[in-house]
Structure 1
Amino acid sequence: MHDQLKKPNLLVYGGLALASLALGATLSVQASRRRTVKRKTRSDLSKLTPPPHSPATVLAARRLNRAAGILATSVLTDSGIEHYRGSFKNKAMFTPLIVSALTLAISIHGTSDMRPAAHKFRDATYVLAAITGLLGSGFHIYNVGKQVGGFSWQNLFYHAPLGAPMAILLSGLVGFCSERVRESEPGTRPEIFELPAGRTMAAVVSAGLLGTTGEAGLLHFRGAFHDPFMLLPVTLPPLGAILLASAAVHGPGHDHRFTRGWMRVLAAMGFAGSGFHVYGVSRNMGGWRNWTQNILNGPPIPAPPSFAGLALAGLAALALMRDHPDA
């Protein structure tokens, strides 16, 4: 029994160590770059230093990188807890931890990168994240479908969450789109696959908000909405999705001030949701004194920031539409 418990612990620690190495590697690259710049002469430094005001496309891309990083962080911590609870019975359960750790690292790199050019390794990692999300959704659908009773409420409530892998897909999609925005030529309309970048991202985030709402609604329905605040993740995001969809449909000449304000509300709700989940864990038997069990069985603390990541991506899209009305 002791050996069975010890093995998953070692696996989780290995996954966390990998995430730390990926983050450390990114930070070391940035530190090395700063040291290189300091060794240059003043004339060389003027060539390396970016202009004081980055182009609007680069600023929008960095905001999208940040949003992708928040989504990746949510996936890394949430899947780590959930797959640890499943004892990593299937070795493929390590995949989202590794991919989300890499996605987080390259998102940090992209957030600090002021160059107006796409990065090949970031592109490849974001594509890998999107593919991982698609495959993970397939695994979770299969997991629920093979249970006795198939897609019953009981199995939907207590087996692999169908919508969870979509968070890493959204992280990869938002990040990949950020690289397309970043590489836009000066004086041209920012585009994603020949579509206006701002309105395209608004549509993507709108769909993401609806999907994330569905996952939250299922789990809060399982909790019988015993706390009135549990209604917020199933009421506020759908309205935000409608507002973003409206912004995507309408052309230039619209301010979208109310939509920007609503996205800020959703971002605050996402971070506050983790606080509510911390409180929910404390209400279980033993509270935080029994944290090793209650974190696994209580409400998922890392899940709500997914709303914040999508809201920040929505703000980036709206800002791009404001700076480039034709986007």
Structure 2
Amino acid sequence: MIAGGTALLAAAVLADSALEHYRGSFRNPFMVAPLAAASAALATSIRRVIGRKTTSGRTEYMAAMLTGAAGLGFHLWNVVKRLGGFNWSNVFYGAPLGAPAALLLGGLLGETSAALELSGGQPGPMSVASGRPLGLIVAVGLAGTVGEAGVLHFRGAYHNPFMWAPVSLPPLAALSLARDAIEGEARPQTRYLLAATAALGIAGVGFHIYGVHRNMGGWYNWRQNILAGPPIPAPPAFTGLALAGLAALMLLERGRG
């Protein structure tokens, strides 16, 4: 399940980066790097999901983490170099900080999955197999994804009431999961919140598809409108993280059992 969550997150990053960097005409050669790193992480995660043997995949995941960290630096520089430096306007309209952070997070989740496989699943107080580190990673990832959604939806003035959903439900799931990870106990309400967050990610794709349709020309003008947004690949990040969170709960339950 961790590999499945990683695959979804990597796919979301790959598609989103491809669209955004295509819109930027790949003017910086390094803009190709996240596509390569996300593709490698996605391919490795898919092999894990279908049960195919892999050497470990840690090289691909480490590459995703390093590329994400470097991309975060590039995007931060793109924001602060603008007139006024680091301010709300530049955060709204500069390079998105959440995108490379999601790639870094995807690599970290994949690395956790590989470490769990290598550990043989032997639980300990704070081992990977205990589920506690994974739970904390996912909780932080959900919080970051909520922040990115909050910035973009604030920029859209929350014109649709459903735009409040990704900044209302996932924070509750993140807080509940963090509490469970710290206390080492999986609670039913956390599972419900994570399942709802996973469903929210899928529903978000539909809302964003409709949002593209509402632009001038609709899907007849898809070449322009798909770049104008809203970003269709973004919401599945919630689904991928929620799946990884559910895996963390399973590990917590096994550790207590």
Normalising to structure 2: TM-score of the pair?
Answer: 0.95
Cα deviation 1:21-51 (Å, max 9, x = unaligned): xxxxxxxxxxxxxxxxxxxxxxxxxxxxxxx
More contact order relative to length (CA 8 Å, sep ≥ 6): 2
1:208 corresponds in structure 2 to: 141
1:32-181 matched pairs, under 5 angstroms: 63-113=1-51, 119-120=55-56, 122-181=57-116
Contact 1:201 1:317 in 2 (8 A): yes
Q: Aligned partner of 1:266: which letter?
A: T
Deviation at 1:302, TM superposition (A): 0.2
Cα deviation 1:257-279 (Å, max 9, x = unaligned): 11111111000000110110000
1:34 corresponds in structure 2 to: none
Counterpart check, 1:189 vs 2:123: yes
Supply the distance in 2 between the matched residues of 1:323 and 1:287 (Cα, whole angstroms).
49
Counterpart check, 1:238 vs 2:171: yes
Q: Which has the larger radius of gyration?
A: 1
Q: Aligned partner of 1:180: which letter?
A: A
Deviation at 1:255, TM superposition (A): 4.6
Q: What RMSD, in angstroms, separates the aligned Cα atoms of the two structures?
A: 1.7
Contact 2:130 2:255 in 1 (8 A): no
Structure 2 residues not aligned, in runs of 5+:
none
Supply the distance in 2 between the matched residues of 1:199 and 1:255 (Cα, whole angstroms).
10
Q: Aligned partner of 2:88: which letter?
A: W
Cα deviation 1:183-217 (Å, max 9, x = unaligned): 2236x32687x466301111110000000000000
Cα deviation 1:234-254 (Å, max 9, x = unaligned): 111110111001101113xx4
Runs of 4+ off more than 4 Å: none
Supply the distance in 1 between the matched residues of 2:60 and 2:128 (Cα, whole angstroms).
23
Structure 1 residues not aligned, in runs of 5+:
1-62
Deviation at 1:323, TM superposition (A): 1.9
Supply the distance in 2 between the matched residues of 1:255 and 1:153 (Cα, whole angstroms).
38
1:289 corresponds in structure 2 to: 220
2:210 corresponds in structure 1 to: 279
Supply the distance in 2 between the matched residues of 1:151 and 1:285 (Cα, whole angstroms).
32
Contact 2:116 2:128 in 1 (8 A): no
Deviation at 1:153, TM superposition (A): 2.5
SS of residue matched to 1:164:
helix
Equivalenced residue count is: 257
Q: Aligned partner of 2:16: which letter?
A: D
Supply the distance in 1 between the matched residues of 2:31 and 2:40 (Cα, whole angstroms).
16
- 1:197/1:163 CA distance change after superposition, 3 Å: same
Normalising to structure 1: TM-score of the pair?
Answer: 0.75
Contact 1:184 1:191 in 2 (8 A): no
SS of residue matched to 1:302:
coil
2:193 corresponds in structure 1 to: 262
1:6 corresponds in structure 2 to: none
Deviation at 1:285, TM superposition (A): 0.9
